[in-house]
Structure 1
Amino acid sequence: PVITLAMGVVWATELLLLLTLSSALRTIAVCVPCTRVQPHGIHTTQSAVPARHPSLCRVRLAGSCARSCGMRMQLDEESGSSSVQAPVQEGYDAEQITVLEGLEPVRKRPGMYIGSTGSRGLHHLVYEVVDNSVDEALAGHASEIRISLHADGSVSVSDDGRGIPCDVHAKTGRPALETVLTVLHAGGKFGDSGYSVSSGLHGVGVSVVNALSERLTVEVMRHGQRHSMSFARGKVTSEMTTSPLEDEPDSPASARSGTAVHFTPDGAIFKSGVVFEAERLSQRFDEHAYLNAGLRLVLVDETLPGEPREQVYEHRGGIAEYVNHLCEGKKPLFDDDGGTFTSASSLKGVYVDIAMRWNAEVYSDNLLGFANGVHTPNGGTHIDGLKGAITRVVNSVARHTGKLREKAASLPGEFVREGLCAVIAVRLPEAEFEGQTKNRLGSPEVRAIVSELLSHYLTDFLTRRPKVLSAIVDKAQAAAKAAEAAKAARELVRRKSVLGSSVLPGKLADCSSSDPALSEIFIVEGDSAGGSAKQGRARETQAILPLRGKILNVEKAHDASMYQNAEVQALITCLGLGIKGDDFKPSQLRYHRIILMTDADVDGAHIRTLLLTFLYRYKRKVVEEGYVYIAYPPLYKVRHRSRTSYCYSDAQLDERLGQLSGKPAIQRFKGLGEMMPAELWSTTMNPKSRILKKVTVDDAAQADRMFSILMGSNIAPRKQFITDHAGSLDWERLDL
């Protein structure tokens, strides 16, 4: 009994790890083969299906996970939208030229301003309003922002800043409040008399929120007066009214100021539904609190049953606290200042704030960049300046102090940065971003400024702390030796990749199609499941790769061990992943759908977690760009008279049994090997009827942190995490 209980705790722990990783990785329901995401419920469509696919595609479940694993199913609005081209006009003259005035362009082409009309664009409305309040905080005029998600689908955002000006605007002849809300690119972030820096990414501001809202009301407290105004779909519905503020015991009217915006998104624009996710907003607000030490953000969720839930985001430790948060579960390389050190300085009008920490037993770096409060996931000139300065200074000081011999080769940057976690936040006027998504800072002057400021600080810091320098250099040299040890195995993988299918592992049952866009591979556990999958598959487009047991946990392994592991080698070669660290090239992938198909028990969940860890750590872009999917086989087979149905969750089983009379026969599938090939095909592999969940990264920093906590070698944070979340498990329905 003791052994059984201990094994049960282990299995429960593994399931909990998967649940948490699943929440860190965003998942969406996808209809394959057309890869079109379907709306909630059963849906059939013809218009969006390519000609080479069947005329109907079905996804039987969306909105919530079909299984009891806890993973949430989201709709990917960007790939789910469809359009039909209008017939080409025979005549083309002045009558075909359309002039859009005011906010009409926004309602005509909303995707140009907020990215999409799905969930991402919907949440962008909140970001735009909150970013205006954050700009007030950046300018030193606001200390608290309050965001409320109301049960009717509306949102309120209020701050204690200066309040939007309400006097008459010289150019428009209308109140400045109305101008800000009805004129594109109107606001304090344009020109040099408002904000010196702004977090506004697209510069579209609250006017776009107004245009895409069914209703919007704004209230401004300023100079002892209250100003109010209402709008509908960008049009004024009530002119600005002004009334005096009344004194309060602890707050005289003249001392109170701020802006409050209450808006309801237009359901005619956001056709996939107006449903805000508190968790998605939470990540953004937490980031703001870290980047603006002392700023307090309060999120109130009134959409759930019961009392409203309130979450406060306030981090007085700033980005140093952020780095420690990201490094939770990791052991610092040295103990000075808790392992984390910071630099804050400015040059030529550019303010640079950096926090850094090297970690032991971590074999990659994690660098996060922000420009004017905006996360730049693709890096940019601020990250380039950071990397260059660290590599140059560590080598220079190491030579000067004798830690590195004068004639010895310089330590490459990738080895110097091994184990480094750093956050850099720059603030500058007129920041330039690259690409339409603006995920990379392009301002050329920032590279030199960051490099100069960090070089001065780091040179002084490392010169005064030789033990810190020694720890960094020793780790870099160990990384170089490990890389040399892994070279032979890495070259073997490289040769296999070049030679192609002639050296593919014998256990791989490849598909006959040579087009990666049409091909998919199912990664299954064991020969039993592999046998059923091989017999039931569509041989033209579906490949099967069986694994023997649990693969190596790469979170705890160095590259040398990883390349020498047979199962990992098979994955790298079969998938066409190339070499770790090399640029990701989609053209090298052998399959554009990598489907993890494991058993519906905790062992299967653990294998799935190990595979996700490997893919995320080895070639993160494969996950980020949407090539990884999770297959969901049914949990139950229900036979009633002459009919057979399948249930994908306990709730679905309860619902099905409630619809049937008598005593139907129920079979609980413990593993894929128990299913006949035809059953496995019809329920889990058939593109017309299966359920797939596409795995994407919603928050890279949070995903990185959770992989480290749950799969790393440091036990204490994982133990604490399990203790904190054990109460969320449904022990009665847990498979042990």
Structure 2
Amino acid sequence: MSEDTIKYDAAHIQVLEGWRAIRKRPGMYVGSTGERGLHQLVFEVVGRAVNELLAGHAGSVDVALTFDGGVRVADDGPGVPVEAAAHTGAPGLETLLTRSHIRTEPDSRHAVAIGLFGVGPCVTNALSSRLTAEVRREGVRWVQEYARGVALAPPTAVGPVAETGTTISFWPDSDIFGTAECSFAVLAECFRELAFLNRALDITLTDERPPGGTRSARFRFPGGARDFVGFLDAEAEPGTWVPVHPDVIGFEREDPRMAGTVEVALRWCDSREERVRSFANSRPTPHGGTHAEGFRDGLAAAVNAYAREKRLLTAVDPDLGADRIGQGLTAVVSVKLDQPEFHGATNGMLGGTAVRACVAEAVREHLGTWLEEQPERAGAVVGRIVQGARG
């Protein structure tokens, strides 16, 4: 190999920024160029609208899959600022849609991050053949058009308007995603989960594509995690998941020691399986973590204390194990923290030593109170667990 062949210097380095970088390596930003990637485009735009609502600036979010292959996301918030951002000189709207370093989802227990990496709507813009942004703000309706991440013109005032809000419509680039289509079912599952975990959320998903007419679903669950447990039980195969007690046990507690809140809901059913879903700042934690460990600690402490107080366990009996207590249990454990600590880049496992102790204490106290106040139902639950441990 000659010296000329292996020569490499600064002239060979190619620096890509903004939409060019995103379009060059789309998988780095949305995970894939198939259906999964399309859903990430939706989530990046919906995430901004959802956080407007959770901050108290909007009342509802509407998402539509349009008949021509596009996606429309609308909220009734105050409208994205159109004026120039001081740190860039670009319009606020244009900054949102073109700058990947702008954080659209702040670190806060009151915000959600739906997108893969939380980069924001700029990813959606770069990977769409066209995008239209409409802002209704301070009595003026503004519109701006984009093509593959590039603004065709500055935001244009097109007339007066009475209402406020932001609507972003985009058409994923078929050169990148081919014939892949968004799944109504996948989006509905995500939005439903978010609504269970955030009681203030009100989001509607409409599919305008079916030839037989549109279909629509609204996701709003004032009962929070309790409603989530009820839904999970109702989704089970009929006859395989019969509740041992009719009511769902649930509570929410603020704890300054972990700088956050914990919400737990649970119910035992007549089954040998266990279904425990855990979340941190509205993100699923499939590998568990300190909040899930604390839940099991508190669960075991409350059940064993009750069993011994009522002499369902003798002095020589060992404590009931967490695995046995969890049989037939449906539970949702959700913490929202100001400074969550995750293990790994995918945020699949929660850390934080204070979280485990705080969650355990909350579960032990609240479940212990329920067991004392509901003796008949408590006897059915704990008696079944003890009998199973012995049999």
1:415 is aligned, of 321, 324, 338, to 324
- The alignment partner of 1:199 has SS state of coil
Deviation per CA, 1:379-420, whole angstroms, max 9, x where unpaired? 222222211211122112332443333442111000111111
- Counterparts of 1:85-96 in structure 2 under 5 Å? 90-96=6-12
Matches of 1:453 and 1:439, distance apart in 2: 23
1:213 is aligned, of 122, 125, 128, to 128
Q: CA deviation at 1:308?
A: 2.3
Matches of 2:136 and 2:174, distance apart in 1: 30
Counterpart in the other structure of 2:222: 316
Residues 190 and 286 of structure 1: CA distance in aligned 2, closer, same or farther (over 3 Å):
closer
1:356 is aligned, of 253, 256, 266, to 266
Counterpart in the other structure of 1:40: none
Is the 1:382–1:450 contact (alpha carbons within 8 Å) kept by the matching residues of 2?
yes
- Counterparts of 1:90-489 in structure 2 under 5 Å? 90-190=6-106, 196-201=110-115, 202-242=117-157, 245-246=160-161, 253=162, 256-271=163-178, 273-293=179-199, 295-328=201-234, 329=238, 330-334=241-245, 338-348=246-256, 349-360=259-270, 362-482=271-391
Matching residue's letter, 1:259: T
- Counterparts of 1:565-644 in structure 2 under 5 Å? none
Counterpart in the other structure of 1:581: none
Matches of 1:204 and 1:145, distance apart in 2: 20
Is the 1:403–1:470 contact (alpha carbons within 8 Å) kept by the matching residues of 2?
no
Residues 174 and 281 of structure 1: CA distance in aligned 2, closer, same or farther (over 3 Å):
same
Matching residue's letter, 2:11: E
Is the 2:313–2:386 contact (alpha carbons within 8 Å) kept by the matching residues of 1?
no
Is the 1:129–1:206 contact (alpha carbons within 8 Å) kept by the matching residues of 2?
yes
- The alignment partner of 1:167 has SS state of coil
Matches of 2:342 and 2:31, distance apart in 1: 16
Is the 1:153–1:274 contact (alpha carbons within 8 Å) kept by the matching residues of 2?
no
Q: CA deviation at 1:243?
A: 5.1
Residues 167 and 452 of structure 1: CA distance in aligned 2, closer, same or farther (over 3 Å):
farther
- Counterparts of 1:16-31 in structure 2 under 5 Å? none
Q: CA deviation at 1:430?
A: 4.0
Is the 2:254–2:260 contact (alpha carbons within 8 Å) kept by the matching residues of 1?
yes
Matches of 2:80 and 2:202, distance apart in 1: 20
Poorly superposed stretches of 4+, deviation over 4 Å: none
Q: CA deviation at 1:191?
A: 6.2
Runs of 5+ consecutive residues of structure 2 not aligned to the other structure: none
Aligned-pair RMSD on alpha carbons? 2.3
Residues 452 and 258 of structure 1: CA distance in aligned 2, closer, same or farther (over 3 Å):
farther
Matching residue's letter, 2:343: E
Matches of 1:181 and 1:163, distance apart in 2: 14
- The alignment partner of 1:269 has SS state of helix
Counterpart in the other structure of 1:576: none
Deviation per CA, 1:298-343, whole angstroms, max 9, x where unpaired? 2221222143222333333332122112112432112xxx331110
Matches of 2:224 and 2:49, distance apart in 1: 18
Residues 208 and 309 of structure 1: CA distance in aligned 2, closer, same or farther (over 3 Å):
same
- The alignment partner of 2:155 has SS state of strand
Residues 90 and 307 of structure 1: CA distance in aligned 2, closer, same or farther (over 3 Å):
same
Matches of 2:275 and 2:29, distance apart in 1: 31
Matches of 1:222 and 1:467, distance apart in 2: 57
Is the 1:189–1:196 contact (alpha carbons within 8 Å) kept by the matching residues of 2?
no
Deviation per CA, 1:126-149, whole angstroms, max 9, x where unpaired? 122122222223223333211111
State which structure, 1 or 2, has the greater radius of gyration over its C-alpha atoms: 1
Is the 1:151–1:303 contact (alpha carbons within 8 Å) kept by the matching residues of 2?
yes
- The alignment partner of 1:396 has SS state of helix
Q: CA deviation at 1:218?
A: 1.2
Q: TM-score, normalised by structure 2?
A: 0.89
Is the 1:185–1:203 contact (alpha carbons within 8 Å) kept by the matching residues of 2?
no
Matched length: 379
Residues 442 and 105 of structure 1: CA distance in aligned 2, closer, same or farther (over 3 Å):
farther
Percent identity between the two aligned chains: 38
Runs of 5+ consecutive residues of structure 1 not aligned to the other structure: 1-88, 247-252, 483-736
Residues 310 and 426 of structure 1: CA distance in aligned 2, closer, same or farther (over 3 Å):
same
Matches of 1:237 and 1:428, distance apart in 2: 41
Q: CA deviation at 1:219?
A: 1.4
Matching residue's letter, 1:149: L
- The alignment partner of 1:317 has SS state of coil
Matches of 1:188 and 1:223, distance apart in 2: 22
Matches of 1:351 and 1:220, distance apart in 2: 34
- The alignment partner of 2:90 has SS state of coil
- The alignment partner of 1:103 has SS state of helix
- The alignment partner of 1:239 has SS state of coil
Is the 2:249–2:370 contact (alpha carbons within 8 Å) kept by the matching residues of 1?
no
- The alignment partner of 2:152 has SS state of strand
Matches of 1:310 and 1:140, distance apart in 2: 25
Matching residue's letter, 1:388: D
Matching residue's letter, 1:344: E
- The alignment partner of 1:353 has SS state of strand
